[in-house]
Structure 1
Amino acid sequence: MSDAPAYGLWTLVIINSVVFIVFAASFTRLETKRDWRSLGAFSAFVVALFTEMYGFPLTIYLLSGWLGRQFPGVDFWSHDAGHLLEMMFGWRVNPHFGPFHFASNILIVAGFWLLASSWHVLYAAQREHRLATTGPYARVRHPQYDAFVVIMIGFLLQWPTLVTLAMFPVLVWVYVRLAKREEEASRAEFGAAWEAYARAVPRFLPRFGHGTDAAGSHRGGAVHD
């Protein structure tokens, strides 16, 4: 890898961060504190990611000695070499066409599709005051949080950093806590209908071949704060 260094591009950090955050926000209905917390957690991850991708490569800096010894001849200060998984597993031609980058793109697109599909169903259920049990909500109770996690995994495959790897389990824990709080509020409001839905549909990991006929009003477990 011999392409020129491509860091210190803070304008790109800002532009890319804003684009992805606004894109994610466009699929949500930011009506409650939980909605804002969910988007805020994702936004922190995105800013950290693009800061290292285009601003200052902290991970490369901290691991430069080890990387230089393990992968001699690779210029890890070049932008392409920042795709660490492609470099470490031997894809040295163009990382944008490598297997990890390809898988990353699929996961990111799939995550945004799931996010859009989830909030579309949820918004319709809110207006009709019923449980959201169709579409993604027929498979899992919190597809919007699954979507954020899938998108983050996609970004990690494309550009893993020490900071985002450390943030990832913390953000998953945040989403689990938000989901449980939303379920408590929904259980209190909708009672038996929510209990039936919760028994039929898993929280995060789908059981394929199973659906639900529950009815009521559901915000992935949330009600207005």
Structure 2
Amino acid sequence: MTSASSDYGMWGLVVLNSVIFIGFAFSFFKPVNLRDWRSFGAYSAFIVALFAEMYGFPLTIYLLSGWLGSRFPGVNLFGHDAGHLWWLVTGQDGNPHFGALHLLSFAFLLAGFTLLSKAWHVLYHAQRRHQLATAGPYRYVRHPQYIGFVAIMFGFLLQWPTLLTLVMFPVLMLMYVRLAIAEERDSEKAFGDAWRQYAATTPRFIPRFGKAGRARAVRSR
């Protein structure tokens, strides 16, 4: 692993990138209660695990080095470009940063952070007025903040997949579903019929497209 020392072991970058992406999400999400902190903590754990492998120690490359070495004998597995595993295993040439999946990952990251920002803005003002959040992205889905976190994590998986984050991703998705259901029980207790009417016409995670979805969005404005 002597070649790994030139492209990995940069723990300062692990800390810097973790702080940037966790802090960036925090500025949009601003957790308040225990449920918020659980969802934000799960996202933070994913980010730390990701950057620990991206710049610190390439655990996934190390564990798969036997198989990867036999399949790609001419590739420096501990060079940083090899960490873009989707690019490597599909036999692509050139700079992986300009690959379709890498560029697509930026679209998911941008969409996720934008959704977090817009959802928090609506939720913050609704909570201050002790009202149900039904404006902005809440016109289309009941839990846009969780969708935002999932979009960000999926974007990073397209960019830099690791064994740990690939395992964490479905577990965190399940956790967000359970948190959403618990949040809905609290909302029903707090808002009663207003919540039930909102939930009856607004999907939990997947927005409705077509005439029904557009009509719902118009009525919510």
Give the TM-score category using the shorter length.
over 0.9
Please state which structure has a larger fraction of its residues in helix. 2
Equivalent residue, structure 2, for 1:174: 175
One-letter identity of the residue aligned with 1:196: Q
For residues 151 and 27 of structure 1, the distance between their equivalents in structure 2, rounded to whole angstroms, comes to 13
Q: Gaps spanning 5+ residues in structure 1: where? A: 216-225
One-letter identity of the residue aligned with 2:75: V
Equivalent residue, structure 2, for 1:60: 61
One-letter identity of the residue aligned with 2:119: S
Q: How many Å apart are 1:3 and its aligned residue?
A: 10
Query: Sequence identity of aligned pairs in percent?
Result: 61
Equivalent residue of 1:26, what SS? helix
**Structure 1 pair 62–166 and aligned structure 2 pair: CA distance change class (3 A):** same
For residues 88-167 of structure 1, the aligned pairs below 5 Å read 88-167=89-168
Q: Deviations over 1:24-75 (max 9, x none)?
A: 0000232111111111000000000000000000000000011112223111
| Superposition TM-score, scaled by structure 1 size | 0.91
One-letter identity of the residue aligned with 1:44: A
Q: Report how many aligned residue pairs link the two structures.
A: 214
| Superposition TM-score, scaled by structure 2 size | 0.92
Equivalent residue, structure 1, for 2:48: 47
Q: Is the 8 A contact 1:131 1:214 kept in 2?
A: no
Q: Is the 8 A contact 1:4 1:78 kept in 2?
A: no
For residues 3 and 49 of structure 1, the distance between their equivalents in structure 2, rounded to whole angstroms, comes to 17
Equivalent residue, structure 1, for 2:204: 203
Q: Does 1:74 align with 2:69?
A: no
Equivalent residue of 1:184, what SS? helix
Q: Deviations over 1:67-99 (max 9, x none)?
A: 112223111100011111111223221011111
For residues 84 and 92 of structure 1, the distance between their equivalents in structure 2, rounded to whole angstroms, comes to 12
Q: Is the 8 A contact 1:42 1:148 kept in 2?
A: yes
One-letter identity of the residue aligned with 1:32: N
Q: How many Å apart are 1:4 and its aligned residue?
A: 8.2
One-letter identity of the residue aligned with 2:68: L
